[in-house]
Chains A and B, each alone.
Chain A
Amino acid sequence: MIEIDHVSKSYNKGAVRAVDDLTLTVPPGEIFGFLGPNGAGKTTTIKMIVGILKPDAGTIRIAGLDNGAEALRCKAMTAYVPDEPEIYERLKGIEYLNFMGDVYGVSGGERRNRIEHWLQAFELSRAVADPIQTYSHGMRQKIILTAALMVKPKVFVLDEPMVGLDPRSSHLLKEAMREHCDGGGTLFFSTHIMEVAERLCDRIAIIHKGRLAACGTMAELRDQAKDKASLENIFLELTET
Chain B
Amino acid sequence: MSPTAALIKAALNSNFGWSIVRHRLFVQKRDRWMVPLVALGVVGVVPTLVLYVRLLGDVFDMLNSLGQEKALLTLAVLAGQLMILVFGLFYLIATFYFSRDLEYLIALPLKPSQILLSKFAVVLINEYLTMAPFILPALIVYGFKRHGDPGYWLIMPLTYILLPVIPLTAAGLVVVGMMRLVNVGRKKDLLIISGSLVLIAAALFLQFGLSRAAGTSDLDTQQIMSMIASPDGLVQTIGRRFPPAIWATRFLHDGLMTASGLSAFALFSGLSILLFGGLMAGAQRLFFGGLVGLSERSGVRVRGGKALAIKFSSGCHPVRAIFLREVRLMNRTPIFLLNGVLGVLLIPIVLALTLSSSKQGTDSADILRLMTSAKPATGILVTTMFMIVCATLSGVASSSFSREGRKFWISKVIPVGYRQQVSAKFLHSSAIALLGIGSAVAVLALRFHLGAWQWLSSLALALPVTAFITSLNLAVDLARPLLDWISPQKAMKQNLNVLIAMLFDLGFLFLYGLAFVALGKSGLSLGAVIGIMATFGVGLACLAFTLVSQFALRRYPSIET
Interface residues of A (CB under 8 A from B): 12-13, 15, 47, 50-54, 68, 71-73, 75-76, 78, 80, 82, 86-88, 90-91, 94-95, 98-108, 111-112, 115-116, 119, 125-131, 133-134
Contact = CB atoms under 8 A, between A and B. Distances in A.
Contacts, number: 123
B299 A52 contact: no
A47 B300 CA distance: 35
28 contacts: A12-B27, A12-B29, A13-B28, A13-B29, A51-B412, A52-B413, A53-B560, A54-B557, A80-B413, A86-B409, A87-B407, A87-B410, A90-B332, A98-B321, A99-B321, A99-B325, A101-B315, A102-B315, A102-B318, A102-B321, A103-B415, A103-B416, A104-B414, A119-B310, A129-B308, A133-B297, A134-B299, A134-B301
Given A88-B407, A94-B310, A102 B417 contact: no
Given A86-B406, A91-B325, A91-B328, A131 B299 contact: yes
A100 B307 CA distance: 22
A69 B450 CA distance: 55
Contacts of B299: 130-131, 133-134
Contacts of A91: 325, 328-329, 332
B362 interface: no
B558 interface: yes
Given A98-B312, A112-B312, A126-B308, A82 B321 contact: no
A233 to B, nearest CB: 36
Nearest 8 Cβ contacts at the A-B interface: A108-B314, A102-B321, A76-B415, A75-B415, A90-B332, A134-B299, A129-B308, A103-B414
B42 interface: no
A106 B321 CA distance: 13
A95 B310 CA distance: 10
B333 interface: yes
* Most chain B CB within a 10 A radius of its CB, from A87, A88, A133: A88
Contacts of A134: 297-299, 301
Interface in B18-74: 27-29
Contact of A72 (B310, B322, B417): B417
B316 interface: yes
Contact of A50 (B302, B317, B406, B413): B413
A62 to B, nearest CB: 12
Given A52-B561, A134-B301, A103 B307 contact: no
A107 to B, nearest CB: 6
A131 B558 CA distance: 31
B241 interface: no
B365 to A, nearest CB: 43
B28 A12 contact: yes
Contacts of A13: 28-29
A126 B307 contact: yes
A98 B325 CA distance: 10
B415 A108 contact: no
Given A68-B557, A94-B310, A134-B299, A82 B315 contact: no
Contact of B313 (A87, A90, A102): A102
Contacts of B321: 98-99, 102-103
Interface string B285-317: 000000000000111111100011011111111
Interface in B400-435: 406-407, 409-410, 412-417
Contact of B315 (A53, A108, A125, A128): A108
Contact of B329 (A90, A101, A108): A90
Nearest to A157: B413
A15 B409 CA distance: 23
A105 B413 CA distance: 14
Contacts of A90: 328-329, 332-333
Contacts of A78: 413
A52 B411 CA distance: 9
Contact of A104 (B314, B332, B412, B415): B415
B427 to A, nearest CB: 15
Given A13-B29, A115-B310, A126-B303, 15 more contacts: A53-B560, A73-B415, A75-B415, A80-B413, A101-B313, A102-B316, A102-B317, A102-B321, A103-B318, A111-B315, A128-B310, A130-B300, A130-B301, A131-B298, A131-B332
Nearest to A129: B308
Contacts of A75: 413-415
Contacts of B412: 50-52
B310 to A, nearest CB: 5
A51 B29 contact: no
Most-contacted residue by chain B among A13, A47, A101, A126 (CB, 10 A): A126
A98 B297 CA distance: 23
Contacts of B560: 52-54
Nearest to A105: B315
Contacts of A107: 314-315
A191 B316 CA distance: 36
A87 B406 CA distance: 8
A149 to B, nearest CB: 15
Contacts of A102: 313, 315-318, 320-321
A232 to B, nearest CB: 32
Contacts of A133: 297, 299
Contacts of B407: 86-88
Interface string B371-410: 0000000000000000000000000000000000011011
A82 B561 CA distance: 12
B338 to A, nearest CB: 15
Nearest to B318: A103
A157 to B, nearest CB: 9
A95 B414 contact: no
A41 B124 CA distance: 43
Contacts of B303: 126
B218 to A, nearest CB: 49
B312 A111 contact: yes
B322 A103 contact: yes
Nearest to A107: B315
